[in-house]
Structure 1
Amino acid sequence: MFKRASLGLLAVVCTTGHVKADEYKFTLGAFYASSDSTMLVKSAKDTGNYYLLDFEDDLLLTEDQFLPFFEFQYSFKERHHIYVDWKSLHRNADTPQLGFDIEIPEFGDNDQSYVIDGSAKLSTTLNIDILRIGYGYDIWEGNDYTVGGSIGLHTMFVETIFEGDISLCGETSEPNSLCDTVSFTPKVVDNALTAPLPNIGLFGMYEFYPGWQFSAHAQYFAIKYDNFKGSLVDIRAGVSAMICENFHLSLAYNYYDVDVDIERSRSILDKEFRTLDYNINYSFTGPMFAVSYSF
């Protein structure tokens, strides 16, 4: 009986509403992600007009995928928290034949672009990593609940790689046409960009039974600056239970959506023409499973 009473007391102490000082928490989990990625390109399909190339529909990248995630949280001085988490979505696919030539821009500040032969095999890689770093503070505390606020920064690291028969293209006199003459050779085009998105949020926890907690958080931010536009929505609610000392099992439902759009244009013959319209939408709505260890 004494042993059972001791274990019960341990469960209550480990899951109390007040966060003990200097606590470290590591979380490993998995979620189901859905992605939608597009790029505005010049296309021979539309006689040189712009075409919205879809990475999932046109280039056959997987739209839905089961992925891991990692979270770390350091809690100190009763009410303060520093957290870091990471999500990764790496995809690649081979397109036997796109069916039409396309011209893709260089992500840099120059006007250089490439023409991809649509009659040849094209290999596409799209890697997205999202790193979140933030700070949280418990505003209200009780014996069985906590409510707080947070500020942080989500940063998307995006790498786009095309491998196929590709030709380097310079400026053309006709802005809505592909290069006049091209010489296709095996080539790899590797473009990368980094998109930071700050965020603000609220979080809360309620212990409805010793060892069982309901928790939720919501984060949001939107920004538009120069040729960059981005938004972030992150809402999660779930239940966690202590399965043994210092270990918790969590089940949550999460809505997560990050959207980044980068546009660029240049003036030709006193008219403005878009040279880059690159959109990445990374989202998922569904269950998340995780195991946490704290000490």
Structure 2
Amino acid sequence: MRSRPWLKHVPALLGGLVGVSIAGSAQAQSNAQGLLDNSWVFNLGAFVVGSDLSAGLNGSSRNNPTIDFDKNYGRADDATRIRGDVLWRITPVHHLRFMYFNNDTTRSRVLDNDVQWGDYTFKAGSRSDLQYKFEVSELAYEWGFLKTPTYELAASFGLHYSKTTLQLSGTATVTDANGQTGTASAASKASSLPAPLPVIGLRGGWLLAPNWYLDGQAQFFKVNIDGYDGRWSDLRLGATWMFAKNFGVGLGYNRFGTRVDVDRNNFGGTLKASYSGLQAYLTGTF
């Protein structure tokens, strides 16, 4: 069974939220109502992330196998990242929503096996470094088709832009365009995959109690166009306790997964990546 290192953070996160909740339990007014009615809602949080990453980059004259980076470079320790969300209710029915997330990982390991990355073969027995950068930005229009004093449902459509950069460094055998090979002790090969894609989804919010608010969001898309053949999903669930009229704290869980087969000049091959984890966040609404 695969271990889940991020679970060690759960008691501290839950303890912090429960402690703040007890401190303000005497507050009786419905602070959470603003999360359903106010024009602006902001979330900013620390994201405890666990990730899975595999990819294959084709060379000039061959199709390379997919690399399991977690197997070859080891699983990265969970790292705290920042995720930000902004919701603007232009009217009760028409909304705009923006999200940004960044996950950067650096790993270094003496390789047990050769790793083929494009025209570079990083050699077994040598130390190799992996730099992995994953950014996601999204701007979406929401249509609030169902709204009551205690809950709302909204459908969304927008643009999701992700950029994945993978760089491998170390001792490698390099094959040139003529099929000639040579060895370099400080070789480095970077490949970047930008992916602007449309997004559709559904978001809901529920006023559970005067100061408690639950929200959930599901987004997905599948596309085959212009050298991209891929699919992705984004699922999120959160609970927020509003300790004041305009401010609150929350705890959520988010999972994102994508698989893309690409035939482009800047990246030819397969990318499969996912992240998941707990998010402790601050909320503001006005």
What TM-score results when the alignment is normalised by the length of structure 2?
A: 0.77
Percentage of identical aligned residues: 20
Among 163, 170, 174, the alignment partner of 2:176 is: 170
Contact 2:89 2:96 in 1 (8 A): yes
Does residue 294 in structure 1 map to residue 285 in structure 2?
yes
Unaligned runs of 5+ in 2: 1-26
SS in 2 for 1:77: coil
In structure 1, give the amino acid aligned to 2:157. Answer: I
CA–CA distance in 2 between the matches of 1:92 and 1:120? Answer: 17
- Deviation string 1:122-180 (CA, Å, 9 cap, x unpaired) is 111111111122111211222222121111222211111122234542235xxxxxx55
- C-alpha separation in 1, matches of 2:58 and 2:31: 63
Asked if residue 135 in structure 1 is aligned to residue 141 in structure 2, the reply is yes
Report if the CA contact (8 A) 1:17-1:145 is conserved. no
Q: Which residue of 2 aligns with 1:159?
A: 165
In the alignment, which residue of structure 2 is the partner of 1:145?
Answer: 151
User: Any conservation in 2 of the 1:16–1:207 contact (CA below 8 Å)?
Assistant: no
Question: For residues 6-45 of structure 1, what are the structure 2 equivalents within 5 Å?
Answer: 11-12=29-30, 15=33, 19-20=37-38, 23-40=39-56
Distance 1:85 1:57, change over 3 A: same
CA distance in 1, matches of 2:251, 2:125: 47
Partner of 1:210: 210
Would you say the 8 A contact 2:168–2:190 is kept in 1?
Answer: yes
Flag the 1:99–1:215 CA change in 2: closer, same or farther, 3 A.
closer
Q: Give the secondary structure class of the aligned counterpart of 1:15.
A: helix
Counterpart in the other structure of 1:283 = 275
Counterpart Cα distance in 2 of 1:279 and 1:169:
22
Are the equivalent residues in 1 in contact too, given 2:31–2:245 (CA < 8 A)?
Answer: no
SS of match in other structure, 1:78: coil
Structure 2 partner of 1:87: 101
Contact 2:57-2:270 within 8 A present in 1 as well: no
Supply the AA of the counterpart residue of 1:280. Answer: K
Provide, for residues 67-95 of structure 1, a one-character-per-residue CA deviation record: whole Å limited to 9, x for no partner. Answer: 33111222222322212111121111112
Report deviation, 1:257. Answer: 2.1
Which protein is richer in helix relative to its size?
Answer: 2
**Aligned residues between the structures:** 257
Inter-CA distance 167–287: structure 2 relative to 1 (3 Å threshold): closer
Q: Map residues 79-118 of structure 1 onto 2, 5 A cutoff.
A: 79-100=93-114, 102-105=115-118, 113-118=119-124
Contiguous gaps of at least 5 residues in structure 1:
1-6, 106-112, 173-178, 266-274
Work out the CA distance in 2 between the residues paired with 1:74 and 1:17.
Answer: 11
The answer to whether the 8 Å contact 1:153/1:198 transfers is: yes
User: Higher strand fraction: Structure 1 or Structure 2?
Assistant: 1
Task: Report the aligned-residue RMSD.
Answer: 3.0
Which residue matches 1:221? 221
**CA displacement 1:178-212 (0-9 Å, x = unmatched):** x5531324232222120123211112222232222
Superposed CA offset, 1:24-67 (max 9, x none): 33211133333222233689xxxx98433211111225175443
Distance in 1 between residues matched to 2:98 and 2:143, nearest whole Å: 15
**1:12 partner letter:** S
Checking the alignment, whether the CA contact within 8 Å between 1:195 and 1:260 is kept in structure 2 is: no
Any conservation in 1 of the 2:253–2:278 contact (CA below 8 Å)? yes
Change (3 A) 1:49 1:201: closer
Secondary structure in structure 1 of the residue aligned to 2:252:
strand
Moved more, 83-92 or 160-169: 160-169
Task: State the alpha-carbon separation in 2 of the partners of residues 78 and 289 from structure 1.
Answer: 27
Over 3 Å counting, the alpha-carbon distance change for 1:169 and 1:213 in structure 2 is same
Distance 1:164 1:81, change over 3 A: same
Q: Secondary structure at the match of 1:57?
A: helix
Name the CA shift for 1:139/1:17 in 2 (closer, same or farther; >3 Å). Answer: farther
For 1:69 and 1:245, the matched residues in 2 are separated by 23
**C-alpha separation in 2, matches of 1:83 and 1:99:** 45
One-letter code aligned to 2:271: N
3-state SS of 1:244 partner: coil
> Aligned with 2:101: secondary structure?
strand
1 CA distance for matches of 2:55 and 2:263? 10
Q: 1:123 to 1:249 in 2, by over 3 A?
A: same
Taking structure 1 as reference, are residues 148 and 185 closer, same or farther at Cα in structure 2, changes over 3 Å only? same
